[in-house]
Amino acid sequence: MEINGSVYNSGNISQRNVDAEGQTSVLSSNLFLDHVGEVTLTLNSDGLSWKSLYSLDNDGSTCLGIKFLPRVATKMATKLTFSDIYAVEIIDSDVIQESDLTLAAECFVGNGSHDSGMNHFMVHTFQKSKSQPCLWSLAVYKFGNKDLQTCQMWVNKINDSLSKEVGRPKNLLVFVHPMSGKGNGRRIWEAVAPIFSCAKINTKVIVTQRAGHAFDVMTSATNEELNSYDGVLAVGGDGFFNEILNGFLSSRHKAPFPPIPSDFLDALGNNSNPLVNDPNEADSEIHNNIESDPLLSSSAHNESGFSHLRTNDGSHIEDQQIENPLPNQRLRFGIIPAGSTDAIVICTTGARDPITSALHIILGKKLCLDVAQVVRWKTTSTSKIEPCVRYAASFAGYGFYGDVITESEKYRWMGPKRYDYAGTKVFLKHRSYEAEVGYLEVESEKDSSILDGSRMLSRVRSLKRKKSERNICQANCDVCNTKPVYSSIRSPPAISSPEARWLKSKGRFLSVGAAIMSNRNERAPDGLVADAHLSDGFLHLLLIKDCPHALYLWHLTQLARKGGNPLNFDFVEHHKTPAFTFTSIGKESIWNLDGELFQAHKLSAQVFRGLICLFASGPEV
């Protein structure tokens, strides 16, 4: 034994402590690994590694001249990083299986088994699908040793290393929508809940009882109460996440309303643009428009156990100030997919899989997400309940998209198939709506000159890029991680500067859409805009002008085809912008915000770059 050199041996265990130069300690033991046999397990600064003590080239690996290889062992990893391990635990004694190699070698020799009196510990991790790297599945490595203290020592050492992993949640608030998608929300949560328990994550679970339940809980929760959690999870679809997001932001997000052109204000009968969002106004509108908004409820009951945010007269409690400015990177949001489309999950993890999403959350992945603020303005100068503010994380759509979501509400009993049925009915009706859309052009440093009409047309066409030129958003995205060359909407100088210009498009539109992300889903494998990014501070404004039935069908067919070019049509306008306005003229449709209905005759919208953080790492492309 050598103390100063920090190396000592005890049986089959060796350990080296931190030396004078600060090198990380190393622990090594001979253990039995399930399906492999005896291995030398080593712990170092970044994870675990092991090496089998059996040689595949010796005579003992053959039987009757046939060489037996450990089939499972050859497919297993020989190293695990702590960033990929989410739990380790001692388990009750049972039989640990030797490798195929050991069994083959002993087929005539008759050596005794090592199973007797074995103690075990399990290391929980995950593995990626070879064909779909975004799809993660659970994996476990079971190690054994006859000495219980040796197993306990390994568990303690690994837990010490896991406790140093940054960003992993310990306490989560979970909302479960029992009727999402095919009505499997509760079952899906029950399937993934044991993974959170194994990782020693405390969860407070609220199964929603009505529309707007989650919104009311998030709105009434104080900052102090929310700060006791590391994140908020939604077990449901995009619409359910939208409800939670709006409940969180409606009472906490203090920011200017979207910029609007001067004539837009004149049409409203106002003399000035409000500077700060007053959540009391939006809250008043919400509770006076219950029947027309299926998302929100005016229930005064506090079913969450949280204290109310406001007093009975509607005033704010004095100590309920904005303690944590947005974005709050500690309080993250997570989604366990249980909806009909789950576009947000597909865009942020790459897979529509509850296990994959649960692992992203447990391992503390972090991804910033743009959020659009959508404001419904008063339609008359005497209106007192406007403007009304809502938020969207994936998409805002009018016309075809709004009609489909409205029609589908009649057929909820059909489950996800209702969207196909409703979409077919709406397509056959081929309704168009007259409207005026304004969008803000923000010049980059590379092109600060004012564009004339021909250059603008050229720029629009340049957005219709081929598949090979698409810059797809993915894990560690360079676009999302790069500071923009202009200020974001949250820093208004670029928008209010003289160089900023409002451009307009007026006519009859089959649909008007604003994509905040690509919106990939099973019906549109590349999404509405294939190269839209999760956190670049842009909306992708899609204006589909009235056109013949056949051409519109061609456009929809391109959306449904992987590698298609749905934007490459003369009747399609695609504008990349941080803000836009909309005014309906004549017969109206309804807006679809992340799958939720929102009726608005006149609205404006802007994007806030990286306003919230998700438990996700982005898709692997």
Instruction: Give the residue numbers marked as catalytic.
Output: 238
Among residues 517, 538, 542, 531, which one has the least CA distance to residue 470? 531
**CA neighbor of 362 nearest in space, from 125, 169, 161, 128:** 169
C-alpha count within 13 angstroms, C-beta hemisphere, residue 359 = 22
Q: Where are the alpha helices (DSSP H) in 341-399?
A: 343-349, 354-362
Q: Please name the residue that has the structure tokens 């820093």.
A: 491
Q: Which two tokens stand for residue 594?
A: 């992340």
Find the length of the chain: 621
DSSP state of 309: S
Contact between 402 and 392 (Cβ < 8 Å): no
C-alpha 601, offset from chain centre: 31
Report residue 617 as tokens: 């790492």
Distances (CA, A) of 253 to 65, 256, 276, 308, 611: 73, 10, 10, 17, 10
Which phi and psi angles does 95 have, rounded to 5°? -85, 130
Distances from the Cα of 122 to the Cα of 43, 93, 149, 159, 207, angstroms: 15, 12, 15, 12, 32
- Interstrand relation of 591-593 and 231-236 (parallel, antiparallel or unpaired): unpaired
Contacts of 455 (CB under 8 A, 6+ apart): none
Answer yes or no: are the C-beta atoms of 13 and 28 closer than 8 Å. yes
Assess contact for 396 and 513: CB atoms under 8 A: yes
- Cα gap 554→552, rounded to integer Å: 5
d(CA 494, CA 486): 6
Sign of the C-alpha dihedral, residues 352, 353, 356, 362?
positive
**Tokens 């019906």 belong to residue:** 523
Say how far apart CA 499 and CA 483 lie, in whole Å: 20
